[in-house]
């Protein structure tokens, strides 16, 4: 069954094969390949067909030419061409040429990934065209170009599958669905071992099949009509060539022909960047565009505009210049690992690779075959509560990528095993440097750098993460990891929760670490981002004093750090608070700013505490709050 036909249950399929990946791009004069390239490299499985939807937008104003397609004007132009000027048929010819040139540039990727691409040109008469197509099959991934913002909104409203928007090869994950699993997906879980060597693209994410008849939307009729116009199995034949000199087989698959059209620069719209002149569409699109783009568009290179060249991003610099461990790349979804892969990476979870024991399991150091050093966190035996926390951590971390936040590289779900794979941070956690015996005491510059960097990471989680406010709920020195250059990274999201617009939510149990819990959280179980601000204030006091949040070996009245320090902070008693290990080597201005900031953060009233963006500015000396 090809793309023009529908199965009996109303779902589209391709040659009898289900496609779980849809890539949608907007048909403009600059068609980027970023979304398709990302999907091929990250989510398409071997042997799978990726559906490329090229959506031609409509315009309500008759004064505007559809899609911005240039009008034809010439003395020798036939009446037929004049009547077709700027019509849907003309647009499809031109779009198909551009898209096939784009696909030819990705042929190598398709061969390596063993993936085929089916292209369909559709007329987006209504918003929701992509969502309607996704409902026709068991779509697991919808990958959209950055220009498809309205379609992305419709997909978020109508679908439950994974949704990603790609901008300049950088993906933004709008939804990562790990919680719900259909019967089909559950039965397929044991097969994950056999396909685990691919990364996230081999994860059996939920097969979401929303119930929708073909008549559910008015778009369906338009879609069915358009589907008969363009259906290209681009990589089925090894004879496919990189230029647009199509072979007979490909030509026969097109129910429309491509003729020689002329484009008059003088008749194009003034705001148009690209003026086209006469060329045959049978020649190379890349050469054709190079020869005919107006010289007035000097700010862009044609290859950049239609993304025909293969740009492989360079490896990111190492996180630490001392140990030079390979850093993971930003913008990639987490990978799926098999248990045997992680067992091999950690030498069988040997004692020599043991790093720490947390409330949710042990952490081990490991090295992947590509040289990436990792930290593998073993969750205890799975339970309903444990699985909820596991999924929460995966979702929170996969959506949070910042230079001061520990990056999630991947995870493992096998039998009852649940493991998380992080980037490895080389110099341990802050607590071992503050009051551990195995390290030299931190100098003041390092403490200031750690405070500012950790504040940046927490501000990102609260105020800048694209999925909303993420409340950490266990902010303490053990969960601030540092490099040899004392660059801090906020980690361990085992307790993290997404918080909608900063609203409070009632928890059935209070979880966190004694000494860092905000009073309102400990008393009522109600948690907001202000609870994290309180915990961060405690960390600031620890950086200033070198003391633990709770130390039963201290004299009575000094065992709880915040209660002992609160009045001293308000009095600005630097000499009584400052860590004696600093030997008076510190910046008095920075110490006073940190003390003032800590005093505000540990206010008993959560409404009196500053936001993390304000905390950061105070630490950097930009503002002073009372």
pLDDT in tens, 188-237: 333 433 333 333 333 333 333 333 333 333 333 333 333 333 333 333 33
pLDDT at 602 over 90: yes
What would the mean pLDDT of 545-572 be, rounded to a whole number? 93
Q: Give the per-residue pLDDT at 349.
A: 94
- When computed from its CA atoms, the radius of gyration of the chain, rounded to whole angstroms, is 29
Is residue 308 a contact partner of residue 106, using CB atoms and an 8 Å limit? no
User: How sure is the predictor about 452, in pLDDT bands with cuts at 50, 70 and 90?
Assistant: very high
Is residue 455 a contact partner of residue 405, using CB atoms and an 8 Å limit? no
Q: Give the per-residue pLDDT at 88.
A: 57
* Cα distance between residue 478 and residue 432, in whole Å: 8
Q: Give the per-residue pLDDT at 447.
A: 97
Cα 303 to its chain centre, rounded Å, is: 25
Q: Give the per-residue pLDDT at 369.
A: 93
* Cα distance between residue 583 and residue 145, in whole Å: 56
Q: Give the per-residue pLDDT at 469.
A: 85
pLDDT, tens digit, for every residue of 6-41?
333 333 334 445 578 999 998 876 677 888 888 888
Taking the chain, what is the end-to-end CA distance rounded to the nearest angstrom?
Answer: 70
Is residue 482 a contact partner of residue 425, using CB atoms and an 8 Å limit? yes
* Cα distance between residue 40 and residue 30, in whole Å: 20
* Cα distance between residue 204 and residue 20, in whole Å: 10
Q: Give the per-residue pLDDT at 598.
A: 97
pLDDT at 60 over 60: no
Report how far apart, in Å, the C-alpha atoms of 232 and of each of 16, 56, 122, 285 are: 15, 17, 13, 17
pLDDT at 509 over 80: no
Q: Which residues contact 405 (CB under 8 A, 6 or more apart)?
A: 457, 460, 461, 489, 490, 491
What would the mean pLDDT of 499-527 be, rounded to a whole number? 69
Q: Give the per-residue pLDDT at 512.
A: 63
Q: Give the per-residue pLDDT at 544.
A: 97
Residue length of the chain: 626
User: How sure is the predictor about 563, in pLDDT bands with cuts at 50, 70 and 90?
Assistant: very high
Catalytic residue among 145, 474, 492, 579: 474
Q: Give the per-residue pLDDT at 250.
A: 34
Q: Which segment of 63-77, 328-342, 586-600, 602-616 scores lowest on mean pLDDT? A: 63-77
pLDDT at 505 over 60: no
pLDDT, tens digit, for every residue of 339-372?
999 999 999 999 999 998 876 678 999 999 989 9
User: How sure is the predictor about 481, in pLDDT bands with cuts at 50, 70 and 90?
Assistant: very high
* Cα distance between residue 7 and residue 1, in whole Å: 8
Q: Give the per-residue pLDDT at 58.
A: 63
What would the mean pLDDT of 428-451 be, rounded to a whole number? 89
User: How sure is the predictor about 89, in pLDDT bands with cuts at 50, 70 and 90?
Assistant: low
pLDDT at 186 over 50: no
* Cα distance between residue 598 and residue 609, in whole Å: 10
Q: Which segment of 22-26, 536-540, 620-624 scores lowest on mean pLDDT? A: 620-624
Q: Give the per-residue pLDDT at 493.
A: 67
Is residue 421 a contact partner of residue 335, using CB atoms and an 8 Å limit? yes
Q: Give the per-residue pLDDT at 31.
A: 76
pLDDT, tens digit, for every residue of 232-264?
333 333 322 222 233 333 333 333 233 332 222
What percent of the chain lies above the pLDDT cut of 70?
62
What would the mean pLDDT of 449-475 be, rounded to a whole number? 91
Angle at the Cα of 174 (from 168 to 177), degrees rounded to 5?
130
List 141's β-bridge partners, or say none.
Answer: 21, 162
pLDDT at 490 over 80: yes
Look at residues 116, 159, 121, 124 and name the one whose alpha carbon lies nearest to residue 140: 159
Residue 481: its H or E element? strand 480-482
Q: Give the per-residue pLDDT at 374.
A: 95
Question: Within a 10 A sphere around the Cβ of 570, how many other Cβ atoms?
Answer: 11
**Is the model more confident about 131 or about 273?**
131
What would the mean pLDDT of 143-154 be, rounded to a whole number? 88
Look at residues 366, 370, 365 and name the one whose alpha carbon lies nearest to residue 329: 370
Q: Give the per-residue pLDDT at 485.
A: 92
**Is the model more confident about 76 or about 136?**
136
Q: Is 474 a catalytic residue?
A: yes
User: How sure is the predictor about 604, in pLDDT bands with cuts at 50, 70 and 90?
Assistant: very high
pLDDT at 301 over 50: no
Dmax of the chain from CA atoms? 99
* Cα distance between residue 133 and residue 154, in whole Å: 12
Mean pLDDT for the chain overall: 71
Q: Give the per-residue pLDDT at 361.
A: 78
Q: Residues of 449-480 as b/e, b for ≥16 C-beta within 10 angstroms?
A: bbbbbbbbbbbbbbbebebebbbbbbbbbbbb
Q: Which domains does the chain have, with CATH numbers?
A: 21-306 (3.40.50.620), 335-423 (3.30.200.20), 430-619 (1.10.510.10)
């Amino acid at each position: 069954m090809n793309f023009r036909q529908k199965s009996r249950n109303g779902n589209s399929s391709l040659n009898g094969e289900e496609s779980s990946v849809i890539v949608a791009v907007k048909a403009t004069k600059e068609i980027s390949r970023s979304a398709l390239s990302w999907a091929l490299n990250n989510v398409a499985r071997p042997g799978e067909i990726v559906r490329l939807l090229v959506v031609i937008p409509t315009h309500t104003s008759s004064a505007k030419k559809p899609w911005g397609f240039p009008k034809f004007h010439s003395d020798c132009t036939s009446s037929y061409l004049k009547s077709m000027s700027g019509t849907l048929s003309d647009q499809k010819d031109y779009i198909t040429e551009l898209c096939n040139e784009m696909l030819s540039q990705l042929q190598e990727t398709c061969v390596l990934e063993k993936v085929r691409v089916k292209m369909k040109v559709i007329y987006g008469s209504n918003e929701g065209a992509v969502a309607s197509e996704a409902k026709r099959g068991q779509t697991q991934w919808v990958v959209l170009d950055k220009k498809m913002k309205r379609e992305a909104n419709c997909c978020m409203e109508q679908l439950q599958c994974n949704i990603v928007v790609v901008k300049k090869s950088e993906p933004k994950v709008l939804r990562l669905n790990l919680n719900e699993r259909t019967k089909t997906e559950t039965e397929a879980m044991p097969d994950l071992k056999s396909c685990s060597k691919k990364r996230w693209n081999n994860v059996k994410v939920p097969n979401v099949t929303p119930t929708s008849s073909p008549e559910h939307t008015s778009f369906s009729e338009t879609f069915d009509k358009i589907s008969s116009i363009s259906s290209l199995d681009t990589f089925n034949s090894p004879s496919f060539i990189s230029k647009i000199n199509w072979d007979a087989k490909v030509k026969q698959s097109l129910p429309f022909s491509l003729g020689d059209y002329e484009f008059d620069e003088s008749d194009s719209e003034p705001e148009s960047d690209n003026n086209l002149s006469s060329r045959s569409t049978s020649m190379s699109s890349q050469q054709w565009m190079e020869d005919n783009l107006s010289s007035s568009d000097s700010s862009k290179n044609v290859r950049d505009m239609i993304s025909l060249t293969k740009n492989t991003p360079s490896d990111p610099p190492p996180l630490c210049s001392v140990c030079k461990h390979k850093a993971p790349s930003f913008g990639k979804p987490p990978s799926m690992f098999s248990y045997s892969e992680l067992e091999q990476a950690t030498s069988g979870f040997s004692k020599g690779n043991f790093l720490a024991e947390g409330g949710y399991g042990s952490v081990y150091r490991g090295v992947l075959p590509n040289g990436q050093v990792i930290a593998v966190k073993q969750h205890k035996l799975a339970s309903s509560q444990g699985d909820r926390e596991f999924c929460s951590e995966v979702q929170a971390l996969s959506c949070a990528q910042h230079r001061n936040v520990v990056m999630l590289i991947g995870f493992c779900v096998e039998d009852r095993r649940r493991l998380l794979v992080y980037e490895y941070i080389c110099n341990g956690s802050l607590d071992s440097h503050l009051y551990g015996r195995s390290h030299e005491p931190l100098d003041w510059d390092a403490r200031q750098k750690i405070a500012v960097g950790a504040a940046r990471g927490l501000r990102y989680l609260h105020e800048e993460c694209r999925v909303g406010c993420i409340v950490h709920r266990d902010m303490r020195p053990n969960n601030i990891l540092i490099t040899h250059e004392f660059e801090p990274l906020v980690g361990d999201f085992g307790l993290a929760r997404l918080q909608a617009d900063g609203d409070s939510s009632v928890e059935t149990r209070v979880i966190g670490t004694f000494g860092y819990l905000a009073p309102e959280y400990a008393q009522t179980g109600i948690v907001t981002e202000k609870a994290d601000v309180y915990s961060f204030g405690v960390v600031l006091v620890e950086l200033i004093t070198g003391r633990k949040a709770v130390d039963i070996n201290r004299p009575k009245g000094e065992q709880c750090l915040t209660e002992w320090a609160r009045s001293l902070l308000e009095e600005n008693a630097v000499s009584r608070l400052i860590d004696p290990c600093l030997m008076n080597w510190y910046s008095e201005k920075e110490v006073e700013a940190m003390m003032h900031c800590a005093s505000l953060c540990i206010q008993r009233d959560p409404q009196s505490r500053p936001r993390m963006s304000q905390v950061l500015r105070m630490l950097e000396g930009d503002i002073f709050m009372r």
